């Protein structure tokens, strides 16, 4: 339990003081704006981000954060200080839910709320105990108006299969929370070798690999028989500490595209079906919105997330259009 889990290694491509690209290419690639136009922006959903924390007063994120907790020894173990002192968590949070406000960048689900759970230190490491406690906290958390977490996003991993961590994830799934995990960046581009990291390799999670903007698999993305799908993960623009922006590469950047997309899908499907979705139904609806890229299942799972790959009835579409007028 005291063994360390770490950030999945990633690349910082560029740090910017201003964003010249309002809607990042990754957000456009998964076609999130098309769902915004139908009125679905993640409103009412909570995504728990288990990472290095978040810059809580970043202009693009300050109104999206609903709460948080620190599970590391940083800040003298002050549990109420979940400020990001590394950078990774702020970047992940922005891809999920940066606000749509005509400034900076926008995330996949710009009206989602973020529960920031700092389980990794400024050095990018944390204990499995901290990860486990973070997951249980996300499951048990309730907002002032009874809100609860619908998605957990984890861009972290390690080589160890920890039964207590697996149990915590299974508990989250039993509480109808979709758990989204990065696959890892130890890939060697050889289909015949498997690269396995936990918690991504657990069957209960949605494991995400990475592609570039040309829809090619990233050179670093892990291959294994539990990959569920892929998303943009190369040169991804998002928020960064000190009110900055940055382009990062890694499956860590692919996973939050799926976490944010799940919030949009929950909005869309619960509107269509007029009932709350179970975790298995959320998972199924995400997978329905994938497009095969021509690689094996161990390389790309079900393919690339494309949010508009969805067929609804004429009545559903009419109701959505009426809502946006």
Kindly list the catalytic residues.
51, 88, 252
Task: Determine contact, residues 236/309, Cβ cutoff 8 Å.
Answer: no
Residue with tokens 């949070």: 93
**Cα–Cα separations (whole angstroms), residue 35 to 95, 158, 168, 241, 319:** 16, 35, 32, 29, 14
**Cα–Cα separations (whole angstroms), residue 218 to 35, 70, 157, 206, 214:** 26, 32, 18, 18, 10
Tokens for 15? 């740090």
Task: Determine contact, residues 124/6, Cβ cutoff 8 Å.
Answer: yes
Q: How many CB atoms lie within 10 A of CB 11?
A: 14
Strands 227-232 and 206-211, how do they pair?
Answer: parallel
SS3 248: strand
- Helix 314-324 × helix 251-273 angle, to 10°: 100
Comparing C-alpha atoms, which of 54, 50, 80 is closest to residue 180? Answer: 50
């Amino acid at each position: 339990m005291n063994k360390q889990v770490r950030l999945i290694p990633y690349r910082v491509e560029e740090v910017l003081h201003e964003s010249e690209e309002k809607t990042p290419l990754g957000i456009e690639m998964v076609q999130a704006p098309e769902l915004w136009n139908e009125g679905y922006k993640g409103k009412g959903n909570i995504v728990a981000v288990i990472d290095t924390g978040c810059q809580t007063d970043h202009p693009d994120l300050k109104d999206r954060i609903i709460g948080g907790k620190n599970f590391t020894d940083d800040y003298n173990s002050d549990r109420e200080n979940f400020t990001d002192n590394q950078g990774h968590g702020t970047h992940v949070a922005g891809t999920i839910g940066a606000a749509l406000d005509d400034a900076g960048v926008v995330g996949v689900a710009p009206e989602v709320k973020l529960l920031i759970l700092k389980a990794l230190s400024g050095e990018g490491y944390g204990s499995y105990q901290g990860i486990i406690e973070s997951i249980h906290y996300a499951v048990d958390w309730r907002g002032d108006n009874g809100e609860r977490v619908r998605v957990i996003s984890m861009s972290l991993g390690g080589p160890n299969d920890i039964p207590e961590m697996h149990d915590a994830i299974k508990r989250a799934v039993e509480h109808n929370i979709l758990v989204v995990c990065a696959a890892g960046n130890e890939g060697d581009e050889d289909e015949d070798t498997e690269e396995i990291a936990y918690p991504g390799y657990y069957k209960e999670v949605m494991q995400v690999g990475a592609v570039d903007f040309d829809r090619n698999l990233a050179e670093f993305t892990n291959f294994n028989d539990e990959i569920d799908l892929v998303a943009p993960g190369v040169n991804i623009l998002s928020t960064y500490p000190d009110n900055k922006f940055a382009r990062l590469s890694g499956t860590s950047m692919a996973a939050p595209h799926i976490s944010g997309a799940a919030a949009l899908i929950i909005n869309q499907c619960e509107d269509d079906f007029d009932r709350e979705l179970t975790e298995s139904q959320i998972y199924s609806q995400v997978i329905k919105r994938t497009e095969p890229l021509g690689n094996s299942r161990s390389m790309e799972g079900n393919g690339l997330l494309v949010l508009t790959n969805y067929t609804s009835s004429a009545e559903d579409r009419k109701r959505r259009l009426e809502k946006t007028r």
